[in-house]
Amino acid sequence: MPLVQPLSADANKDVKKLAEFFNETLGFCPNSVLTMQIRPEIAQSFISLNMAVMANKGRVTSALKRLIAWVSSNASGCRYCQAHAIRAAERYGVAQEQLDNVWEYKTHPAFNAAERAALDFSLAASVIPNNVNKTIQAELHKYWDDGEIVEMLGVISLFGFLNRWNDSMGTVIEEGAVDSAETFLGKHGWERGKHV
């Protein structure tokens, strides 16, 4: 049971309009946003930040951003965000072989060196204490420019907020996200946990 019950999707017309963004991303408005709208300014600011962070300005594709989000959420242990990230990755065209082997990104041939550097950065930036060291930095700079690194860290930081929000709130996972998580993460032990 969530800490705070979400409001209906129609509770705030301004939030509802902004939240249409998630219909493309996930196919539904997340329960996390429906809870945030209890304070509409939080929901509106979060949605605007999400839109800015997930916009594509360079070679960091929508698909890679969703994999970065998954690695970050996996490191944090938030099952809600793991489910959302893998669903969005699926919807944004991540290759089937990568979806099937996301747990093995460090060694699986479906991931190239640039993707590995980005995902290693996501992992190092998401653990506590932070583990972004000179080796991670050097590998990242081999493949990505400063703007692309800023985009990646934007995703990692956005999901840091979401991981804390949803794990603390015990946000109930929507069925579409559950379906994607069970398909791609279930074989590695993913389950809803507290998000029921």
CA distance 16 to 161: 21
Range of the domain at 168: 58-188
Amino acid at 112: N
Q: Report whether 150 contacts 143 (CB < 8 A).
A: no
Output the tens digit of pLDDT for each of the chain's 196 residues. 899 999 999 999 999 998 999 998 999 999 999 999 999 999 999 999 999 999 988 899 999 999 999 999 999 999 999 999 999 999 999 999 999 999 999 999 999 999 999 999 999 999 999 999 999 999 999 999 999 999 999 999 999 999 999 999 999 999 999 999 999 999 999 999 999 9
Q: Is residue 15 part of a domain?
A: no
Find the radius of gyration of the CA atoms of the chain: 16
- Record the pTM: 0.96
The CATH number covering residue 94 comes to 1.20.1290.10
Amino acid at 164: R
Q: Is residue 2 part of a domain?
A: no
H/E stretch holding 18? helix 13-18
Structural domains in the chain (count): 1
Q: Is residue 35 part of a domain?
A: no
C-alpha distances (whole Å) from 172 to each of 53, 169, 193 are 24, 9, 10
